[in-house]
Structure 1
Amino acid sequence: MTTTTSRDLELRAIVDATAAAVADAPDKAAALFRATGDSGDGVRTDLRIGRHQVTIDEPPALGGQDAAINPVESALAALVSCQVVTYRFWAAKLGIPVDDVHVETEGDLDVRGFFGLDDAVRPGFGEVRLLVTLTGPAPAEDYARLKDAVDAHCPVLDLFRNPTPVASRLA
């Protein structure tokens, strides 16, 4: 049994409108995202992302006050939320009914890399694991096909899986 929700129709309309808008002008597909941040008390960072104010902090063991999630937790949160969004869009695009998307993630980080205690240890995650639970009326084969599409198109998953050029300079 296949059911199409109003959410699916709205998401499919966004996909179709975007495809039409960039079909003859690929330069219209380029999007620029920005975030700015300033140091706060301790190691807290006060961020402005579009119209939003966000705080990132560290636990006391890393010099913070645990006033908010820490940077690596925010990276995991970005991955989880991007997975949810990508599952929703691709389910709508492929016509696969999904009632709910639940994503859990965890990452292993060895702080010796961050603190420079062992140059052989990378400062970032050594491994990140995702567990996605989909509920809905579609057969398992459809959800496997959906997972493959999401794995191929999730922007934040791509950031985790592939090197991204970063230019860093002092102002």
Structure 2
Amino acid sequence: MTTAAVTHLSAIVAATGDAVSEDATKAHVVFRASAQAHDAVASTVRLGKYSVEVDEPPALGGENTAPNPVEYYLASLLSCHVVTYRFWAERLGIRVDDIKARAEGDLDVRGFFGFDDAVRPGFGEVRVVVTITGPESRERYLELHAAAEAHCPVLDLTRNPTPVVSVLETVESNG
């Protein structure tokens, strides 16, 4: 990681720590997303000033024009791991030259299609491999791994129940 990037992360950690210690309400952040359906099963998801397309492969009714929701989950998990490893490497003073991560998940579509209600509709298992390159000992990288695993927000969403309140709004159409 370049010196400028390290200095930038150090500054963010320090500023956030100072702000939160003065006022704990400054630790609360709200992230928002919205989705608009189009085509058979595709959607456009708005994330602040960004938008991403979501689709399914033909076997699930889509045209395979974009990643599907569970692929975005894997992308979220991996990118969150990378961010968390970077921040914790800085906090622990562990040098990291490069980080790569890959993931795969097993999904049984019987749950999604309702063919077997005993089968969960989501992943049955997800496997993540993080590869670190750098000059530190394996023990130091294991220390980093433990810190990242303990503090990765997307991993936490997976490992711990998160309350989700879902409300259905209906609007009558004139046609």
- Determine if the TM-score, normalized by the shorter chain, exceeds 0.5: yes
Distance 1:102 1:160 in 2: 20
Amino acid at match of 1:69: P
Distance 2:21 2:134 in 1: 33
Aligned twin of 2:5: 7
Kept in 2, the 8 Å contact 1:112–1:121? The answer is: yes
Which residues in structure 2 correspond to 1:115-126 (within 5 Å)? Answer: 115-126=113-124
Aligned twin of 1:127: 125
RMSD: 1.1
Q: CA 1:41 to 1:55, structure 2 compared with 1: closer, same or farther past 3 Å?
A: same
1:87 equivalent in alignment to 2:85: yes
Amino acid at match of 2:78: V
Amino acid at match of 2:92: L
Amino acid at match of 2:37: S
Alpha-carbon distance, 1:5 to partner: 2.2
Kept in 2, the 8 Å contact 1:101–1:135? The answer is: yes
Aligned twin of 2:49: 51
Distance 2:111 2:168 in 1: 23
Aligned twin of 1:160: 158
Structure 1, unmatched stretches of 5+, are none
Amino acid at match of 2:61: G
Q: How many residues align?
A: 169
Kept in 2, the 8 Å contact 1:112–1:123? The answer is: yes
Q: So what's the TM-score if we normalise by structure 2?
A: 0.94
Aligned twin of 1:76: 74
Aligned equivalent of 1:64, options 51, 62, 73: 62
Alpha-carbon distance, 1:71 to partner: 0.4
Amino acid at match of 1:65: E
Greater relative contact order (CA < 8 Å, ≥ 6 in sequence): 1
Amino acid at match of 2:46: R
Secondary structure at the residue paired with 2:13? Answer: helix
Percent sequence identity over aligned pairs: 59
1:145 equivalent in alignment to 2:143: yes
Kept in 2, the 8 Å contact 1:4–1:95? The answer is: no
